[in-house]
Amino acid sequence: MLFAAHQPAARPGGMGEALTRALTPGIVVRASILPVAALLTIGWWDWRAFAGALLAALAAFTVVLLARRRIGGVTGDVFGAVVEVSEVSMLLAFCLA
Q: Please say whether the beta carbons of 27 and 86 come within 8 A.
A: no
Assessment of whether the complete model's pTM goes beyond 0.75:
yes
* Predicted confidence (pLDDT) per residue in 10-63, tens digit: 888 888 888 888 888 888 888 888 878 877 787 666 777 778 888 999 999 999
Which DSSP symbol is given to 45?
Answer: T
Q: Of residues 3 and 81, which shows the higher confidence score?
A: 81
pLDDT band per the 50, 70, 90 thresholds, residue 81: very high
Q: Please say whether the beta carbons of 83 and 31 come within 8 A.
A: no
Q: How far is CA 13 from CA 9, 25, 54, 65, 75, in A?
A: 9, 21, 32, 21, 10
Count of structural domains, the chain = 1
Domain containing residue 48: 2-96
Q: What are phi and psi of 58, to 5 degrees?
A: -65, -40
| pLDDT for the residue 43 | 60
The mean per-residue pLDDT over the stretch 75-86 comes to: 92
